[in-house]
Every structure is written in C-alpha cells, then in structure tokens.
Amino acid sequence: MLTKPTLGGLRFSVQITALIVLLYGGSVMGHYMADMFSGALPSLSCAYDSETSDYCILIPTQHQLHHRVGEAIVRMQGFTFSMIVPLLFTLLNFFILFAVLNKAFCGWICPLGTVQELVFRVGRWLGRPMHHLEPGQTGKVRPVKWIMLLGLVMALPLAAGLGVAPHAAGDAFCQICPSRVITTLATGDAQQLAVNTSGWADMAFGALRSLLFGFVLIAALAVRQPFCRICPMLSLHAVFRRLSPTRLVKVEHDKCNKCGICTKACPMDIPEIWKEHGPKAFNEDCTLCGRCAEYCPDDGVISIKTGPIVWFESSREYYKKRLRQEKPNGTRVAKRKPNAQTQRKPS
C-alpha cells in the first residue's frame, strides 16, 4: 500500500469538492456570488444553474459579443475601442485565474469533466469495455473543439448581435452545452430538458442540446471524458497554455517511445505524450490531470511544474506501488514490445 495518497485520489477529492462548491455554492453565499467572485471561471460552471457559485467565461463572452459588440456596431454604424473593453476585462479575469492552474481547471475543477469521470466509473462497475481512440481518430476529433469555439462561442453570438442570426444564437454554445442540463438536473431543476418550440432556432438548439446530453451519458460509460475532447473551453485554454508557468514537462529519455503506458493512462488518448518531449508533449488536448506522470515507470521523465516548483513527477518506485494497490480487475497485462519490459495497463 502507498504511505501517501495517490495523485489520482487527490485529484478525485478535489474534483468532488469543486463539483459541490460550483453547483451549490451560490445557495450559501447568495445568487449573485458569481458576479462578485469573477464571472469568468476557466471551467464549465453553468449560468443556468440557479445555485451556481460562479459562471464560466463562455457565457459573458457570448453575451458581450451579442449585446455589446454586435448590437453596438449596428446602432452606431461603427466600432470603437470602448465596445470591446468589457470583453477584454472578461478575458483578463479569465487569465488571472487561468495563470494559476493553467489547464488543470479542466482536469481538476470542471463540473462536467467530473460528472463524465463518475459516469466512466459506473461503466467500469457495469463491466463495460474501455475504449481508447487511436492516434488517427484523435487527430480527426481535435478540430471540432476549435469549430465550437470560433463558431458557437464567437461567430454566432456576434452575428446575432448584428441581426444576421436568430436571437437564440446569442448564446449558441450555452444553448447546446450538456453542462446546462447535467448541472441543473443535479440541483433538481428539469426545465432545461424541455425543448423550446417558439421558433425553429430554439427547437434546433434544444434538439442538439438533448443529443449532446445523451451522447455524454452513453459515451462516457466506455470512453473517458468524451465531451472534453470537443469542448471550446479546452481550445480556449490551448490558446494561452504557453503563457502560464504551470505546465506539463517531459524530458527526453532513452526508454521513451517504447512502452506507451503514458498514452494508455491519458484520459484524452494523447499520442504526443508517448512519442514527443519538450513543448510538443504538452499538447493542446492536455488537461493536466497528471495520469501520464503517475503511470510513467521511469524517474523524473514526466512532471507537473509551476516555474521551478515540481508538484509531481514520475517515479519508478511510485509506479510499482501504484500498480500493487490497483484492483485485479482494473488492470491488464500489456503486450511485450521490443526492448521494453512487460507492463500492466493502468485502469
């Protein structure tokens, strides 16, 4: 047994705590706590949750593009710097928080990410087979999150403000975000399951929202974090990931590109963490969950750092102890590869 809590156990504790605080914290401090705190959290904390303790950055970003920038251009038939000042302040609030933990907001705090991992645990309990995306499949999925950010978070809300898209497109991403359904259901509000039939756009967005909600619940039984792979918050994080001192670091090692355990452990199936080192290893899909470092069987190869401070790094001794405490049905023996020792797959 490990004498200290595992990194995975610590992360799960933080996730559950953040889930409770973000979903229900507003009921303790009041409904407007979100505005007092930041109003631009770097994770999906839904504004449609009446008890939320903060809003994610995507809702004020869409709101400002719709009502401030787009509508102001129409009214004034021009554009001034003052029109984008609120948006700049929203991004500043986001970056102040983001700079502390970088993409760990996705891997450690996001409520929707936590719910997906809980559903995945249910899938393991039910005996569902675990599915990994192959490198080619991962590459095909990656552009979707950028389309979501540029199209749903930015282009459609701005177009709604300009009057060339339906009013419902003013918060296009929030209209289809599965977090809108999942987090409100967790607070006993089933209203977001209803489809608004007042217009074709509302009906289309409602249908897509229900489709994504069902996709997350079903896919998460067999695939870790299916929605995270296409989430616009992940792409927004990817834009700024090099600016934060907190990051994943992988040094070149003569045994790398052999066992591939780090990619097998990665919830996002990132092949770069196995085959690359340096900046390329800290991929745009990384959520800084730390599983690659936790399961790397060599000393000091993969680490999570803030500047010179090392929060966690791979260790041969930790790896062996971690595997010994895994449940027998949660691990499998990996096939032997040339010049590599036989290793068990992480669960």
Task: Encode pLDDT of 307-331 as tens digits.
Answer: 899 999 999 999 988 887 765 434 3
Q: Is the pLDDT of residue 345 over 80?
A: no
242-281 residue pLDDT tens: 888 999 999 988 878 778 899 999 999 999 998 888 888 8
171-209 residue pLDDT tens: 999 999 999 999 889 888 888 888 888 888 889 998 999
How many other C-beta atoms are found inside a 10 Å radius of the C-beta of residue 184?
Answer: 21
Q: What share of the chain is helix, strand, coil (3-state, %, to 5)?
A: 60, 5, 35
38-80 residue pLDDT tens: 677 888 888 888 888 888 888 888 888 887 776 667 666 555 5
How many other C-beta atoms are found inside a 10 Å radius of the C-beta of residue 60?
Answer: 24
Alpha-helical regions (H) of the chain: 7-24, 26-29, 33-37, 58-63, 71-76, 85-101, 104, 111-125, 135-147, 156-162, 172-176, 178-186, 200-219, 232-240, 261-265, 272-275, 291-295, 316-324
pTM, entire model: 0.84
232-246 residue pLDDT tens: 999 999 988 888 899
Radius of gyration of the chain (CA): 21
**Higher-confidence position of 336 and 282:** 282
Q: Is the pLDDT of residue 33 over 70?
A: no
* Distant-in-sequence, close-in-space partners of 248: CB < 8 Å, separation ≥ 6: 273, 281, 282, 286, 288, 292, 293, 302, 303, 304
